[in-house]
Structure 1
């Protein structure tokens, strides 16, 4: 599988070559080593990370605060292979990666967790003795079993294990960590309300100012900043929610995945059901809810399936002011703000502020390359994992 990128490219986050920093309104290929097969992708604050099939981690884009994990703060316009601290020979390989704004984290194939970037912000690296980490550094947490996933937010991190335990650390502002007191946590701390209520976590999403969780029964829990409706808790939304709260209107729907937006303002959330439905809620700025208008929705609203050509959706990603989804048939759909090339539609070129789509539209350029598998959106750019056609 291969990677395609598009959107704002000024700092190299598209990875398409030295001197190639222009905005791209249609997908381009990062300059990964020849014949590199990719298994995981994620994009963060002006940078991108990918993991190859053989476990190599590559990053590109803005290097400020060490967010690339290269050992320095230099920008990289092409993908650079990353070596963990004390791994000069590059023997450590990875299987999952997550990017925040100023930090990143990855799960190694030996099940260790590595984290890097700017750590001075509220203990986001999970180790109070580690003010920053320019290279991926092992995180010694209190985890009782194998780590299943990790999600980097603005200045906080979420993690869940194979036995369903959930941990969080970093800045507790808005209640994004899910702890009753709403305070910062300098080290990984178990989210006690899940443990106390025997809730087994299978998926987590870390946004800019809110977080979401899916449990083993397909129930959706939200916490963090709520005043913009991004928690989906109904009319008169709370300003913030410190502890995970069940989204009651979706109790009869089996949720498999969610994505919390990464923008500082206009919070929104997308989630997917096992029937391929997509639900959206929060601020409708620039049409990013995909419901045909720019209205806000304080409870989950289903995006009509005909807006996805009737296809079964497997995967979603909420950017800052745009959104994306991938269908089981391998098509990708984007909606919301299309300036700076975010949506991947060629007609967006030249419409810096006015171009948008209030409903999902297929990114036709991807279908010519192959089958879309997954997508990751950040504020200004989008990254897609593509199963290329055999030639």
Structure 2
């Protein structure tokens, strides 16, 4: 696709709200409000790259992209693996639709897909989240278990990103190449969040611990591996305590993100008074702090630490988003300024600030939505600045409909024309004449491309 220096709207999605959206430079995948899969891009069809509805009638809720497949999660926990290529979708054997009752005949599906739902689910358990790298995907169940599977027909994941010790193409068990594998080493550790980079995986436990596995050539696992061992094929805990060993703060990870060759995690840290210490005044030493950490490839500024570095095997703090405080008039105390969401693409990242904090910084005090800051690679204009200059620290950009975009530079200092995502509200579609829906704006960083969309 041709790089675009200004963010244009996609007319196909006018007056539509989406359940989910994932993007790459040559393919986009969305779940529309009906739960159907919409695909577009040159990888779908060179002759007709416009959006087209593909997998229908499955009540899909989540979507992820590998190098050549689309992973779609249904509300009932079924996980579908669909070819990106329209030609591949229309060729091959079509499965019979699931759920046909009493042996009644039913027509074959209109497109080719594979079901990769884990077979070893327990009673009442279902997949609730899916994330994908180039070759693999990871799936989280309602009971906190994690499964992994091959997610591409181009290359079997053999860099440890499946989290199964010793698993390669040669050692794989009999059966389908993309069968699901449970991460048994974490069977007694409930997981609440999952994230996949290109060739590595990140997990967040219920107790606030971060586990990583997979390729580590750029240090994206948060620690240095011994020479000759480029990857780790079993989940390893990131030592958060070491990041705070010279403080009185006890860390607990609260969210994770991964993209390309980088890993991010946020931490809530609580101050603990040791014996013999005197409790400092709250204004001098807040009892809690919030930090954002990054590790992996930073050549494009993706780590957000203010430098361009080839690799960082030890987590570095994203300083402008960490240990930032504001006075909260409701409690008369300093409160940490937090982010509500991180989205990590292949080389660029965005952070959505907590909407309440954004409202406090607004001149009129109105909650216009969460501020959005971008940083990292900008080789395809994916930062929305109108230029190709990479940014090594979180930066505000102008609103998508701001008059600032008529200038040569869409960077702003954080004034009222900065980009903010609209909070959840009831809106009426079809230019205010259609039906009412409850929607909020979200932002998605993908493979060298970014999108802002309305989500249900």
The TM-score normalised by the length of structure 2 is 0.59
Q: Which has the higher strand share?
A: 1
Q: What number of residue pairs does the alignment pair up?
A: 318
Instruction: Give the alignment partner of residue 238 of structure 2, picking from 180, 183, 191.
Output: 191
Structure 1 segments unaligned to the other structure (5+ residues) = 64-75, 311-323, 332-363
Match of 2:71?
Answer: 49
SS at match of 2:351: strand
SS at match of 2:306: coil
- Seen in structure 2, the aligned counterparts of structure 1 residues 259 and 11 have a Cα distance that, compared at 3 Å, is closer
Alpha-carbon RMSD: 4.1
- Separation in 1, partners of 2:423, 2:446: 22
- Separation in 2, partners of 1:8, 1:215: 29
Match of 1:278?
Answer: 372
Structure 1 contact 13–62 (Cα < 8 Å) conserved: no
Greater relative contact order (Cα < 8 A, sep 6+): 1
Structure 1 contact 158–168 (Cα < 8 Å) conserved: yes
- Separation in 1, partners of 2:125, 2:292: 35
Structure 1 contact 194–200 (Cα < 8 Å) conserved: no
1:224 aligns with 2:296: yes
Match of 1:360?
Answer: none
Structure 2 contact 29–63 (Cα < 8 Å) conserved: no
Measured against aligned partners, the alpha-carbon deviations of 1:342-378 in whole angstroms (never above 9, x if no partner) come to: xxxxxxxxxxxxxxxxxxxxxx9xx999646756564
SS at match of 2:260: coil
1:213 aligns with 2:235: no
Measured against aligned partners, the alpha-carbon deviations of 1:101-132 in whole angstroms (never above 9, x if no partner) come to: 10001111232211001655221111123225
Larger Rg over CA atoms: 2
SS at match of 2:265: strand
- Seen in structure 2, the aligned counterparts of structure 1 residues 78 and 128 have a Cα distance that, compared at 3 Å, is same
Structure 2 segments unaligned to the other structure (5+ residues) = 1-16, 31-36, 86-109, 170-176, 245-249, 269-288, 325-336, 359-369, 404-418
- Seen in structure 2, the aligned counterparts of structure 1 residues 259 and 380 have a Cα distance that, compared at 3 Å, is closer
The TM-score normalised by the length of structure 1 is 0.68
Give 1:148 shift.
0.8
- Separation in 1, partners of 2:238, 2:401: 36
- Separation in 1, partners of 2:266, 2:38: 35
- Seen in structure 2, the aligned counterparts of structure 1 residues 5 and 284 have a Cα distance that, compared at 3 Å, is closer
Match of 2:383?
Answer: 289
Measured against aligned partners, the alpha-carbon deviations of 1:234-273 in whole angstroms (never above 9, x if no partner) come to: 14x22211111111122224222212222xxxx2211111
- Separation in 1, partners of 2:55, 2:111: 9
- Separation in 2, partners of 1:112, 1:269: 28
Instruction: Give the alignment partner of residue 310 of structure 2, picking from 236, 239, 251.
Output: 239
- Seen in structure 2, the aligned counterparts of structure 1 residues 100 and 179 have a Cα distance that, compared at 3 Å, is same
Give 1:40 shift.
2.6
The 5 A counterparts of 1:124-163 are 124-132=161-169, 133-142=177-186, 145-163=189-207
- Seen in structure 2, the aligned counterparts of structure 1 residues 119 and 27 have a Cα distance that, compared at 3 Å, is closer
Measured against aligned partners, the alpha-carbon deviations of 1:34-74 in whole angstroms (never above 9, x if no partner) come to: xx4333332232322222222222221259xxxxxxxxxxx
Instruction: Give the alignment partner of residue 258 of structure 1, picking from 339, 342, 345.
Output: 342
Give 1:161 shift.
0.7
